[in-house]
A and B are shown apart, each in its own frame.
Chain A
Amino acid sequence: MFNQKINLVFPLLFFIVIFSSCKKSEELSENFYTCSPISNDSSQQNQNHQKYEEFMQQLVSKGIPSVSMTIYKETDGLWSGANGKADIFNDINLQSCHQTRVGSTVKMFTAVTVLKLVEEGKLNLDDKIADYVSESVISKLENADKATIRQLRNHSSGIYNYIQSLKFQTASLNDFEKTWQPEELLDYAYGQSAYFEVGEDVYYSNTNYILLGMLITEIENKPFYEVFEEKIFIPLNLKYTAFAAKNPVPKGLVRGYIDMYSNFNLTESTYKSGWDYFTADGGLLSNSHDLVIFFKALMNEEIINQNSLAEMLTVFEPKERDENFFPISYGLGIFKVETHKGTAYLHSGDAVGYYANMIYFPKDKTIISYAVNGNYGSLDQYISTKEAMTTFIDLVK
């Protein structure tokens, strides 16, 4: 009888192991990835073209699936390039015009949109967020009743960052392709202690920017990302830029990859960024080219006026320095860092399988932007650490 039972169990186990087949990669043609080339591209004529190309090739050979990079220098103009695979399985080469995820770089767009609303007289930076967002949300977030719009934007509200919740992190892995709604994310910040009293220090919190998205939606009576389109994307002709909520994985989007086990073995993560499709703390689809166009227009006061820009660049110092990064201080949706090549302003962004960064040096108005389609594990050392940023800066400066 024992043998009979065993005979039943082990074939069943075997059956499950063998027939629970792997999730195969999608077969996509080259046509799927066709994009409109960047117009007026003079990159080939740039005096540093070869140097930039070699740098990207080195990065790809180290394990980054692909990198796109755009550099603006007053002396050389705009340079854009790309290297590596936009899609490893289908062997598609990355092009500069491909769209990718740029994560939290959207926070700068959110901050700029809020400043546009200030310029239009629709709100004041020192208004309390509680005056605009539902009491049912505010009452469950410690410090939210006292925090101002300015304090949300420079992360001095002290409000708990939902991403830090281990419950959220494990829940998001458990349902890796779930599309989260803002309220579901806020649920992981509800009832959590604030990091400090409002205005006492600065601490990066995505929760602040979910609230700012709600603020924009409330004031304009339409989804915040439609306001981005009206006030930023369309006026600047950012034709590679969109917000995920409209179409989370559009045709031609570069595939994302993660090194989950830190061993340079990548799995695809294109459909696993659903936690920020609908929130103003992430969810932007763009590329390094459009990020430079945006950053340049911002700093040239083409989106917001001089006073608003001055407000944006007024920084708040953290009480403690992160020894592993450049000295950093917090502006309104932007960071000021003291690099080895001088002061710079920046914002970076992570999504699952993607990373982007944009850096502006005010002294010579140089802008460096790069976007890659791989992160986590052993890849981060080449893209998001201080050492990684140093290599990008040294390349250009």
Chain B
Amino acid sequence: MKANKFQSIFSKQNRIFQFLTFQFLILLSCLFYFSLSSANAQKIPVQISIFNQSTAIPFTRFFTTPVHLGLQVGTEFNYSKEYYSNFPQKSHHWFQTVNASYFYHKDLAQGIAVFSELGYEKRFKFGLALQALLGVGYLHTFSTQDEFALVDGVYKKKKDRGNGRLYPTFSLGAGYYLKPSEKYSTKLFVRYQSWAEYPYSPGFIPIMTHINFHVGYKFFVSK
């Protein structure tokens, strides 16, 4: 039966995704541990943002309705070790983020993503900061409606185990350090994040693009 052949292909794909997810989670755990370790003598940055998620062609839309809310939390560690020690003489740095995010789109799906980004920030003396981030991660989406699976030629309501996706991201952001002269100042920021989910609907819509508009807060905590 052709149907079974398709199901077999997708089961195999799911197993590959599960394996990749496992590997990716291990990598993220290592990064997270490394970020905390590297910040041993420092304060640890934490970023929290809420965002509006939408399916859209990146950079064609800015903010869309209806709002599909999401929440992102993450931390980062510096590649430039002297950034904090030489602040404010060194006003830019490269860093790596580790994030988890969740979105809810009532007619399509809800998704949980874990991802890491390579970021660059330029910080100005008067408090403004500009960022660009390029990332990749894993997204697992779950249907927000009942799903019916074909079992022996009959559709039955099924427990949704979700679908795994590759999650590449590219973001541009701007923020303001509330105490510009302090290296561990808190920061308010907005971020335009464009991302894709692949595969989306094989044979129909191979890849789906999205945008998230974030409003967030960065703060430092002592370990």
Do A and B associate with each other? yes
Give the docked Cα–Cα distance between A379 and B20 (Å).
28
* Contact in complex: B108, A377 (CB < 8 Å): no
Taking the complex as formed, is B102 at the interface, i.e. its CB lies under 8 A from any CB of chain A? yes
User: How many A residues touch B, CB cutoff 8 Å?
Assistant: 48
Give the docked Cα–Cα distance between A261 and B154 (Å).
18
**Closest chain A residue to B165, Cβ basis:** A261
Taking the complex as formed, is A341 at the interface, i.e. its CB lies under 8 A from any CB of chain B? no
Q: A53: shortest Cβ distance to chain B, in Å?
A: 15
Taking the complex as formed, is A61 at the interface, i.e. its CB lies under 8 A from any CB of chain B? yes
**Closest chain A residue to B43, Cβ basis:** A2
Taking the complex as formed, is A158 at the interface, i.e. its CB lies under 8 A from any CB of chain B? no
Partner of A62, one of B44, B153, B163, B222: B153
Give the docked Cα–Cα distance between A13 and B112 (Å).
10
What does the 1/0 interface line of B96-111 toward A look like (CB < 8 Å)? 0000101011111010
A-B pairs with beta carbons under 8 A, tally: 146
Decide yes or no: A377 and B57 within 8 Å by CB, A2-B223, A265-B148 being known contacts.
Answer: no
What does the 1/0 interface line of B55-70 toward A look like (CB < 8 Å)? 1110011001110100
* Contact in complex: B108, A173 (CB < 8 Å): yes
Taking the complex as formed, is A394 at the interface, i.e. its CB lies under 8 A from any CB of chain B? no
* Contact in complex: A1, B10 (CB < 8 Å): no
Q: Which residues of B sit under 8 angstroms from A22, Cβ to Cβ?
A: 143-146, 160
* Contact in complex: A88, B155 (CB < 8 Å): yes
* Contact in complex: A263, B222 (CB < 8 Å): no
Q: Which residues of B sit under 8 angstroms from A319, Cβ to Cβ?
A: none
Give the docked Cα–Cα distance between A171 and B108 (Å).
13
Task: Choose the segment among B85-93, B129-137, B179-187, B196-204 that binds chain A (4+ C-beta atoms closer than 8 Å).
Answer: B196-204
**Closest chain A residue to B210, Cβ basis:** A170
Task: Choose the segment among B1-9, B21-29, B120-128, B168-176 that binds chain A (4+ C-beta atoms closer than 8 Å).
Answer: B1-9
Counting contact residues on chain B (CB < 8 A from A), the size range is 35 or more
Taking the complex as formed, is B209 at the interface, i.e. its CB lies under 8 A from any CB of chain A? yes
* Contact in complex: B222, A1 (CB < 8 Å): yes
* Contact in complex: A88, B71 (CB < 8 Å): no
Decide yes or no: A89 and B107 within 8 Å by CB, A174-B56, A261-B163 being known contacts.
Answer: no
Q: B15: shortest Cβ distance to chain A, in Å?
A: 13
* B144, B158, B204: residue with the most chain A Cβ atoms closer than 10 Å: B204
* Contact in complex: A63, B150 (CB < 8 Å): yes
* Contact in complex: A265, B158 (CB < 8 Å): yes
Decide yes or no: A176 and B107 within 8 Å by CB, A89-B146, A170-B56 being known contacts.
Answer: yes
* A60, A166, A265: residue with the most chain B Cβ atoms closer than 10 Å: A265
What does the 1/0 interface line of A275-288 toward B look like (CB < 8 Å)? 00000000000000
Q: Which residues of A line the B interface, CB within 8 A?
A: 1-2, 5, 9-10, 12-13, 16-17, 20, 22-25, 60-63, 65, 85, 88-89, 166-167, 169-171, 173-177, 257, 260-268, 272, 376-378, 380-381
Sampled A-B contacts (10; CB under 8 Å): A5-B219, A23-B144, A24-B146, A260-B204, A263-B7, A264-B6, A265-B150, A268-B145, A377-B202, A380-B203
Known: A171-B61, A262-B201, A264-B3. 9 other contacts (CB 8 A): A10-B73, A12-B71, A13-B73, A16-B102, A22-B145, A62-B1, A170-B209, A266-B147, A376-B201
